[in-house]
Amino acid sequence: MHMRTGSIAAFAALASALFAWGCSKPAASVAAAPVQALPVQTVTITASPVPKSDEYTATIKSRRSATLSPQVDGNITDILVKSGDRVKAGQDLLEIDPQKQRATLDSQIATERQKKAVYDYNEIEVERQRKLFAAGVISRDALDQAEQSYSNSKADYDSAVSSRQSQEKQLGYYHIRAPFDGIVGDIPVHLGDYVSATTILTTVDENKEFEAYVYIPTERTSEVRMGLPINIVDTNGDVLESTHIDFISPSVDNGLQGILVKAPLKSQIDKFRNAQLVKARVIWSSAPTPTVPVLAVTRIGGQAFVYVAQQGDKGTQAKQRAVTLGDTLGNSYAVTEGLKPGDKVIVSGTQFLVDGAPVQPLG
């Protein structure tokens, strides 16, 4: 029994020694495998002219736009056009009931004819009286009376003509006509509506020779000048038209606390509409600024980063760098902080990179 216990102890000691030797030998033979560099495309940062600008809301206005209201009262008896119709100058748009005015005109025409008949008679009569006076048949008083009657009838007739012309002009007010070639706007009235001088009937817009109306905040007053560039941009920031300031208001709008400036637009009719709201980018100045392709930028928690290929002791590595972005310029961002000309920014495979990862620049 005693010898069996000693044999077991010796066997256990031998097994422990063998286990320790077996574990230590493989550990000494393991070598670290090298990390392969990721091939990436790079671009060298250059400075490009980048405008310093601010965006404001602008209103597009046609230089020829008319709001039509009647010059007489009455009920609408005819609407001859619909919203969106193209019309010619002088074309009838609406009609207000003209019957009362037409009756007035007819009465005035009859009066004019009556005055004309008296005038014609007195014209013949004064000529006859002049001949009789020359022959010594009538007295001077008789001729003077004929002359007076003639003058009175002529004045009456001239007055009747003027009244008839005035009534004809008044009748024309019952026909609402287009003041120039253009497009009919909204028509808020209906057949039978009673309208007066305060009623808006419709609008006619020429829809060409547009201007952009922009209100510049008063704190930028010192920077506003004639010829200052303005870009009209869409909701994506794409430039619709480049123009410049050609009018600066001499006074401040108290309600908006801004200065009105205007810029002419030359675009075709299908690009802008009267009273349209657009974005106007006022370009204050331009300075060389680093730009980086949009594809190179990643965002983490709202912060923009790029990877810069940097040469070090262990080869080329991808170094993550925070950047501050400015305006979008085509497919690139202006970079106000974080990059300088000459930096090599990685533009491919950025989703596989971590800070310090080895890379192999391809270009």
pLDDT at 33: 52
For residues 13-35, give the mean pLDDT.
Answer: 46
pLDDT at 290: 92
From residue 23, give the alpha-carbon distance in Å to each of 31, 39, 145. Answer: 16, 39, 153
* Separation CA 314–CA 37 (nearest Å): 11
* Separation CA 255–CA 151 (nearest Å): 62
pLDDT at residue 30 is higher than 70 = no
pLDDT in tens, 123-139: 999 999 999 999 999 99
For residues 54-69, give the mean pLDDT.
Answer: 90
How many CA atoms lie within 13 Å of 39's alpha carbon, on the beta-carbon side? 2
CB 99 within 8 A of CB 174: no
Short-list 233, 253, 254, 234, CA closest to 242 = 233
Higher pLDDT, 35 or 148: 148
Look at 85-94, 165-174, 347-356 and tell me which has the smallest mean pLDDT: 347-356
* Separation CA 85–CA 76 (nearest Å): 19
Phi, psi of 347 (to 5 degrees): -120, 5
Q: Which domains does the chain have, with CATH numbers?
A: 38-49+288-361 (2.40.420.20), 55-63+209-287 (2.40.30.170), 70-96+175-205 (2.40.50.100), 98-173 (1.10.287)
State both tokens at 209: 């020779």
For residues 242-271, give the mean pLDDT.
Answer: 88
pLDDT in tens, 322-332: 999 987 777 88
Span between the terminal Cα atoms of the chain, in Å: 82
pLDDT at 207: 72
Provide the H-helix boundaries in the chain.
Answer: 2-29, 99-134, 140-172
- 1 burial (CB, 10 Å; 0-12 / 13-18 / 19+) is exposed
State both tokens at 279: 């974005």
CB 363 within 8 A of CB 316: no
Locus of tokens 């560039």: 229
Whether the pTM exceeds 0.85: the reply is: no
